[in-house]
Amino acid sequence: MIAYIVRRILYAIPVLLGVNLITFLLFFVVNSPDDVARMHLGAKRVTAESIEKWKAEHGYDLPLLYNSDKQGISSVTQTIFFDKSVRLFVFDFGSSDAGRNIGADIGQRMWPSLAIALPQFLIGLLVYVSFAMLLVFFRATYLDVSGVVLCVVLMSISALFYIIGGQYLFSKQMHLFPISGYEPGIQAWRFVVLPVVIGLISGLGASGRIYRTFFLEEIGKDYVRTARSKGVPEVTLLFRHVLRNAMIPILTGVVVVIPTLFMGSLIMESFFGIPGLGSYTIDAIHNQDFAIVRSMVFLGSALYILGLLLTDISYTLVDPRIRLS
């Protein structure tokens, strides 16, 4: 198992290198640093000196891949690729185009993101599994059919409507929770409840339906019929046999997102004014701060790869038959 994990981590390196290369191509080759500088300075009357000055201030005044002015190792290190891309591998994000330290910002902003994402993830898993179980327990009845119809209807509504509608109903009309904002510490719960509830509702359709399919897949199998014919009660059957065996497909979709919970949800955070990593990214997009977007792309990819690894490990915990090799 250790050997497997080590190999997976080694495989992650070329993947991250590829991610790095893609972002590098996107940010520096499609548009040269000159173009970016011109855009930041505004289109009107940009002189060559002001472009040079901007580039020097933000560290974009180096050659892209190879610095012919320098000798030896520094001909490779004194380049934009090395300075802006390779340093990401040790999670050294450098400073944003506005001059702030990205690493410190991320460390500070991940907590509000987690405060929203973690409860939403845990409660969501519980609610979705119970909901799907309920439908499966009453399968092929009107309750089941109406449950599936409800799921399809919920799926067909854009997440934006849930947020706007929820904010309007709960905050503006009923004054239950603040519309947006955040406060660190114990007072945070007032700001957390509404996003979590809305997140749960907007995910119910898709997750409830897919989990129901997973359970139905298991319930049609022989071992379930055997257990039922031996007189195992339906509820015991569902929770002890069906749920356990349906864990594999559920885990496939679930564990992958655990590490990315740090990243927060882009729209949720920006709607509710939560100072997490999601709104950090959105602000960066709006302000066209490429350094932040670049860092978040890299961070997101690294976390995703970690999630894939965790998924594989979780399989062995749920199903002892699976051995990683």
Partner 1 sequence: MIKPLLLGTDALVFLLVALVVLFAVYARKREHLAAPWRDVVRSRIAVASLVVLAAYTLVGLMDSVHFRKALPMQAGQQEVQYGGDVLSVLDILLGPVRTQVETTYSAPFATHLYAKEYMLDEQGKEVRGYPRLKYGGAQLSDPEVDKWPDIRRRVLLSVLETLGVMLLIYVLFGALLARRWRKPVPVALRDIARGRCAVPWRTALGTLGAVVLLIALIANMSAAWHMLGTDKVGQDVLYQSIKSIRTGLVIGTLTTLIMLPFAVLLGMMAGYFRGWVDDVIQYLYTTLNSIPGVLLIAAAVLMMQVYMANHPEMFETMAERADMRLLFLCMILGITSWTGLCRLLRGETLKLRELDYVQAGSAFGVSGFRIMMRHLLPNLMHLVMITVVLDFSGLVLAEAVLSYVGVGVDPTTMSWGNMINRARLEMAREPIVWWSLLSAFVFMFTLVLSANLFSDVVRDAFDPRLRTER
Residues that bind partner 1 (CB under 8 A): 14-16, 18-19, 22-23, 26-27, 30-31, 35-36, 38-39, 43, 139-140, 148, 152-153, 155-161, 164, 167-168, 172, 209, 212-213, 216, 220, 260, 263, 266-267, 270-271, 281-282, 285-286, 288, 290, 293-294, 296-297, 300-301, 304-305, 308
Structure tokens at 45: 């009357």
> Smallest distance from the beta carbon of 70 to partner 1, in angstroms?
28
Q: Contact, 250 vs 129, CB < 8 A?
A: yes
The CA R_g of the chain, rounded to the nearest whole Å, is: 25
Q: Contact, 224 vs 242, CB < 8 A?
A: yes
Nearer to partner 1, 265 or 314 (CB): 265
CA 251 to chain centre: 16
CA distances from 198 to 120, 181, 201 (A): 9, 16, 5
What SS3 class is residue 180?
A: coil
Q: Contact, 92 vs 291, CB < 8 A?
A: no
> Smallest distance from the beta carbon of 226 to partner 1, in angstroms?
19
Q: Would you mind telling me the total number of residues written for the chain in this entry?
A: 325
> Smallest distance from the beta carbon of 75 to partner 1, in angstroms?
27
> Smallest distance from the beta carbon of 132 to partner 1, in angstroms?
12
* Beta-carbon contacts of residue 107 (< 8 Å; ≥ 6 apart): none
DSSP 64-81: SS--TTS-TTHHHHSSHI
> Smallest distance from the beta carbon of 73 to partner 1, in angstroms?
28
Nearer to partner 1, 168 or 189 (CB): 168
Q: How many helices (H) and strands (E) does the chain have?
A: 16, 0
- In angstroms, the CA 312 to CA 216 distance is 24
The crossing angle, in degrees rounded to 10, of helices 290-318 and 102-137 is: 40
> Smallest distance from the beta carbon of 179 to partner 1, in angstroms?
8
Nearer to partner 1, 43 or 90 (CB): 43
Nearer to partner 1, 74 or 288 (CB): 288
Q: How many CA atoms lie within 13 A of 318 on its CB side?
A: 20
> Smallest distance from the beta carbon of 147 to partner 1, in angstroms?
12
Nearer to partner 1, 1 or 157 (CB): 157
Cα four-point dihedral sign 187, 191, 193, 199: negative
> Smallest distance from the beta carbon of 219 to partner 1, in angstroms?
9
Nearer to partner 1, 42 or 185 (CB): 42
> Smallest distance from the beta carbon of 130 to partner 1, in angstroms?
19
Q: Quote helix, strand, coil % in the chain, to nearest 5.
A: 75, 0, 25
Q: How far apart are the first and last CA of the chain?
A: 7
Nearer to partner 1, 6 or 317 (CB): 6
- In angstroms, the CA 104 to CA 85 distance is 18
Nearer to partner 1, 18 or 184 (CB): 18
Nearer to partner 1, 127 or 306 (CB): 306
